[in-house]
């Protein structure tokens, strides 16, 4: 009997596809020497080296790897890195629109190119040796007679520690279950955190840095890191931990990325990731010459952006903070290009709105000597993207600026490093109209452009107020606020801005389970000054921002206001009858005897007031007078936007501003430090690149660069050896302010110097080393009372030029009450 042979599809050869796709155009064949000179004229190959990890994750299941295997992995990473850059096509950026990647994404971001980029990215982050083998058991390390590196010995110590015994019991039970798909076991792979020895003394309570951090632990889910926050806060109400995660894929070390929390799920997009999983797997970069992006504003370090070992993250990662599980779903639709400093915010309970960011485009050319010449250029994104978190489908949306005042055709500049914040519908005033100009004639209690009140009692009724509130706040779609950031004015030139915009995304179709189909364009309405004398923040970018409650302004909430009005106008008295018998059958109608004493007693004046109110409602006249409307503004469910710091290029700011969402006005806020002699002393904490969250009335600012560090990193200024950085205000990794008192928490200050040189410094000794390191390029999220730090870079304050990757997730729990004495 003849055997039928079916034709098989040939296997895909990635090497041949890369070589074929990298055929040079004829114009580049004319004079390659000029092209090499153009591509590699700024940076030498010795300027870069792979970044090292401060914290990282290690698989508990994986087998130890000897030094000879590590050398092979390093060589493979170098080969894949060269193939990655060889896949970058040469393009003429002169044909692209200035300051936008909209046209460039249409030319180059095809499905095949994105698939090829993801395939190469998977090669760098391949975790086959770290995943469990469903058939064979892993050999213990003492059976293997090999020489291991110091990092591998630390990983071996974690795998063989007592803390992993509970996980192996859990994993052993999983293997007894008859699973149809054995790949399910990979999802239960436990990744435990590991910390570099030089950082253990700085950010943990371990005094001996040579000691294995898991020796004294019996639970594998986290390790402590108590020195991250102030000791008094950690002692009274919180803790700090570096948590473990369960995942089929190792969580990469992100920097300059975007992370948004929706329903306890953190969606991580964009940014840069390292092409090596561990320090001893870093590739050799001697064959790379880089013509990188210049004049980057802080905190964007050129040594990070232009480093060949830092590649664009084209994947979407989802981190569950409740279950500590990491997944990497497949995305579809109009997927955005890999963007740095992208901003994202919640649009609905199911959708996320992304806007802004930088796209780093790379051209590569390899000469006859095997030297890879890289040319990196930055393009600012001006397109919005909406992610459906249920289907993982992206959709593109254009932002259309609405005309205002004397400007008929305004422009919403493409930007990065800006503030982007979601405002819930109940935080907006009822007079907020979608799509209208900022100063509308129907605003209640708001000054008009001429400075007079625009409220007209005869033109406003209760029914119109109700319809306005329902139309604006019943959709469930969040309003997006955008402020500041940098725009691109030319090649490697960036200008800070201070414009304020309100973004409204229209909903066309609604469905079940929160499904929404949005329009192709969204309206962008500028928020401008009422007159030229109003206070307004200066131009800035990369500042800290958060949303606080109106209680910091001295206003009561709507709930407190209603309770106060009830206590003022009503009196509830208990029955005074004695020896009252209870009915045997209370459900029988005639057995329930209601008396007038069980109801509230209202005075004649209050009854007349209720009668007049009912009459006014029937006549359609306003319920409240002008004064009472002003009183209602003091009991609003609005909020306060708090911004702090930032910079205009290398000039770092330390001022704090509040924006009242109800009155839509800015206020300059003075911050104070507590001096035991002079009382409250005005201080400024100048930081750029920090992140900020608000826990009740407590504002937490994390990381950032000071003015001295910016001068050292971006202006090549040297810091005097006599400078005492431990007493400088604002060098803690967590700077905590009480917004009600505007006072710095955890430290006392004292004045130092004479005359104009007189300035405040820390008065207390900083023995807990909370100012030993700084963090930047990370994302800080506040959910369910926990502050989570995802990704980013760490630098010691004493050696700020030394940058390390944070490859693990740090979680802090802070009290929401003031601990000021």
Do residues 376 and 306 lie in contact, with contact meaning Cβ atoms separated by under 8 Å?
Answer: yes
297 Cβ contact list (under 8 Å, min separation 6):
417, 486, 494, 496, 541, 542, 647, 649, 650
Reading the block at residue 606, the tokens are 């209050």
More confident residue, 534 or 178: 534
The whole-number pLDDT of residue 676 equals 84
What does the pLDDT look like over 605-631, one tens digit per residue? 444 444 444 434 433 333 333 333 333
Residue 99 has φ and ψ, to the nearest 5°, of 80, 20
- CA 798: distance to chain centroid? 27
Q: CA-CA distance, 171 to 184, in Å (whole number)? A: 12
Rounded mean pLDDT, 779-789: 87
279 Cβ contact list (under 8 Å, min separation 6):
50, 52, 53, 151
When mean pLDDT is compared across 242-246, 323-327, 391-395, 812-816, the lowest value belongs to 812-816
Rounded to a whole number, what is the distance in angstroms from the first to the last CA of the chain? 94
Q: CA-CA distance, 206 to 212, in Å (whole number)? A: 9
Q: CA-CA distance, 350 to 514, in Å (whole number)? A: 6
What does the pLDDT look like over 387-430, one tens digit per residue? 999 999 999 999 999 998 888 888 999 999 999 999 987 666 65
Return the number of other C-beta atoms located less than 10 Å from residue 284's C-beta.
Answer: 15
Indicate the length of the chain as a whole number.
821
Task: Please determine, for residue 802, whether its predicted confidence score (pLDDT) is greater than 50.
Answer: yes
Which of 814, 693, 813, 782 has its CA nearest to residue 261? Answer: 782
**Cis peptide bond N-terminal to 299, omega within 30:** yes
More confident residue, 202 or 66: 66
| Residue carrying structure tokens 């469990």 | 132
What does the pLDDT look like over 97-107, one tens digit per residue? 444 444 444 44
Rounded mean pLDDT, 290-312: 93
Question: Which strand (E) or helix (H) includes residue 70?
Answer: helix 67-86
Q: CA-CA distance, 262 to 459, in Å (whole number)? A: 41
Read off the pLDDT band of 643 (50, 70, 90).
very high
What does the pLDDT look like over 512-523, one tens digit per residue? 988 999 999 999
The CA-CA-CA angle for residues 377, 354, 306, to 5°, reads 25
Extents of the domains making up the chain? 25-189+248-380, 537-560+635-821
Give the chain's mean pLDDT.
74
What does the pLDDT look like over 509-552, one tens digit per residue? 999 988 999 999 999 999 988 777 789 999 999 999 999 988 77
| Residue carrying structure tokens 């909903």 | 507
Read off the pLDDT band of 657 (50, 70, 90).
very high
The whole-number pLDDT of residue 151 equals 63
pTM score, two decimals?
0.78
More confident residue, 565 or 500: 500
* Backbone torsion region of residue 31, taken as left when φ is above 0, otherwise alpha when ψ lies between -120 and 50, otherwise beta: beta
Q: CA-CA distance, 316 to 329, in Å (whole number)? A: 7
The whole-number pLDDT of residue 154 equals 66
Which of 582, 574, 571 has its CA nearest to residue 606? Answer: 571
The whole-number pLDDT of residue 376 equals 93
The whole-number pLDDT of residue 663 equals 87
Largest CA distance in the chain: 110
Residue 461 has φ and ψ, to the nearest 5°, of -125, 165
Return the number of other C-beta atoms located less than 10 Å from residue 276's C-beta.
Answer: 24
The whole-number pLDDT of residue 187 equals 83
More confident residue, 295 or 15: 295
Q: CA-CA distance, 804 to 303, in Å (whole number)? A: 12
The whole-number pLDDT of residue 289 equals 92
Rounded mean pLDDT, 679-701: 90
Read off the pLDDT band of 474 (50, 70, 90).
very low
What does the pLDDT look like over 449-466, one tens digit per residue? 333 333 333 333 333 333
Do residues 649 and 496 lie in contact, with contact meaning Cβ atoms separated by under 8 Å?
Answer: yes
* Backbone torsion region of residue 689, taken as left when φ is above 0, otherwise alpha when ψ lies between -120 and 50, otherwise beta: left
């Amino acid at each position: 009997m003849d055997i039928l042979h079916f034709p098989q599809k040939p296997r895909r050869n990635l090497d041949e596809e890369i070589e074929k796709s990298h055929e040079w155009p004829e114009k580049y064949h004319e004079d390659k020497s000029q092209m090499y000179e153009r591509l590699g004229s700024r940076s030498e190959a010795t300027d870069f080296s792979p970044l090292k990890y401060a914290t990282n994750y290690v698989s508990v299941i994986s087998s130890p790897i000897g030094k000879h295997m590590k050398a092979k992995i390093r060589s493979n990473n170098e080969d894949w890195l060269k193939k990655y850059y060889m896949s970058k096509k040469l393009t003429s950026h002169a044909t692209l629109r200035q300051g936008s990647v909209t046209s460039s994404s249409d030319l180059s971001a095809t499905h095949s190119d994105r698939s090829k980029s993801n395939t190469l990215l998977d090669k760098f982050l391949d975790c086959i040796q770290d995943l469990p083998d469903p058939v064979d058991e892993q050999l213990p390390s003492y059976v293997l007679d090999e020489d291991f590196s110091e990092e591998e010995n630390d990983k071996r110590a974690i795998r063989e520690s007592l803390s992993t015994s509970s996980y192996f019991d859990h994993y052993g039970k999983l293997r007894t279950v008859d699973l149809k798909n054995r790949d399910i076991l990979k999802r239960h792979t436990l990744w435990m955190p590991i910390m570099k020895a030089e950082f253990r003394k700085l950010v943990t309570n371990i005094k001996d840095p040579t000691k294995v951090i898991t020796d004294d632990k019996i639970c594998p889910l986290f390790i402590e890191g108590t020195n991250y926050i102030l000791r008094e806060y950690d002692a009274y109400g919180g803790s700090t931990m570096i948590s473990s995660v369960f995942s089929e894929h190792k969580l990469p070390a992100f920097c300059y990325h975007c992370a948004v929390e929706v329903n306890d799920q953190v969606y991580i997009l964009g940014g840069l990731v390292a092409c090596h999983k561990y320090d001893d797997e870093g590739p050799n970069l001697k064959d790379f010459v880089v013509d990188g992006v210049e004049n980057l504003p802080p905190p964007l370090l050129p040594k990070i952006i232009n480093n060949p070992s830092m590649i664009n993250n084209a994947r979407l990662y989802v981190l569950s903070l409740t279950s500590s599980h990491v997944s990497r779903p497949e995305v579809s639709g109009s997927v955005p290009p890999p963007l740095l400093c992208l901003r994202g915010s919640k649009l609905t309970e199911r959708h996320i709105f992304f806007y802004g960011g930088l796209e780093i485009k790379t051209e590569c050319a390899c000469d006859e000597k095997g030297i890879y010449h890289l040319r990196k250029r930055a393009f600012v994104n001006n397109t919005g993207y909406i992610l459906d978190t249920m289907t993982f489908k992206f959709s593109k949306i254009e932002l259309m600026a609405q005309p205002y005042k004397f400007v008929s055709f305004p422009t919403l500049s493409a930007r990065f490093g800006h503030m982007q914040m979601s405002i819930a519908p109940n935080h907006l005033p009822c007079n907020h109209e979608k799509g209208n100009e900022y100063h509308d004639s129907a605003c209640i209690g708001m000054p008009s452009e001429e400075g007079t009140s625009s409220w007209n009692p005869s033109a406003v009724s209760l029914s119109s107020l109700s319809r306005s509130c329902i139309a604006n706040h019943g959709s469930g779609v969040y309003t997006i606020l955008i402020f500041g950031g940098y725009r691109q004015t030319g090649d490697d030139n960036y200008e800070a801005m201070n414009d304020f915009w309100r973004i409204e995304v229209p909903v066309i179709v609604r469905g079940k389970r929160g499904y929404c189909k949005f329009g192709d364009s969204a309206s962008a309405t500028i928020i401008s000054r009422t007159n030229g004398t109003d206070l307004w923040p200066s131009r800035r970018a990369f500042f800290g921002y958060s949303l606080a409650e109106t209680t910091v302004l001295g206003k009561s909430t709507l709930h407190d206001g209603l309770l106060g009005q009830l206590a003022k106008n009503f009196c509830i008295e208990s029955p005074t009858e004695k020896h009252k018998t209870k009915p045997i059958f209370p459900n029988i109608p005639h057995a329930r005897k209601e008396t007038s004493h069980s109801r509230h007693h209202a005075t004649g004046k209050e009854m007349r007031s209720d009668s007049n109110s009912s009459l006014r409602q029937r006549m359609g006249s306003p319920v409240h007078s002008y004064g009472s409307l002003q009183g209602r503004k003091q009991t609003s469910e609005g909020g306060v936007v708090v911004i702090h710091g930032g910079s205009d290029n290398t000039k770092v700011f330390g001022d704090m501003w509040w924006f009242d969402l109800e009155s839509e006005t800015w206020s300059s806020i003075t911050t104070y430090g507590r001096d035991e002699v002079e009382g409250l002393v005005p201080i400024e904490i100048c930081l750029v690149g920090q992140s900020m969250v608000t826990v009740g009335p407590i504002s937490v600012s994390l990381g950032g660069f000071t003015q001295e560090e910016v001068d050292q990193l971006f202006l090549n200024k040297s810091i005097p050896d006599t400078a005492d950085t431990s007493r400088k205000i604002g060098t803690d990794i967590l700077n905590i302010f009480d917004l009600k008192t505007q006072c710095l928490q955890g430290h006392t200050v004292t004045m130092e110097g004479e005359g104009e040189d007189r300035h405040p410094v820390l008065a207390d000794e900083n023995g807990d080393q909370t100012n030993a390191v700084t963090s930047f390029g990370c994302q800080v999220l506040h959910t369910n009372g926990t502050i989570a730090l995802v990704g980013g870079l760490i630098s010691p304050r004493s050696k700020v030029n030394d940058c390390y990757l944070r490859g693990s997730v740090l979680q802090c729990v802070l009290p929401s009450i003031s601990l000021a004495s």
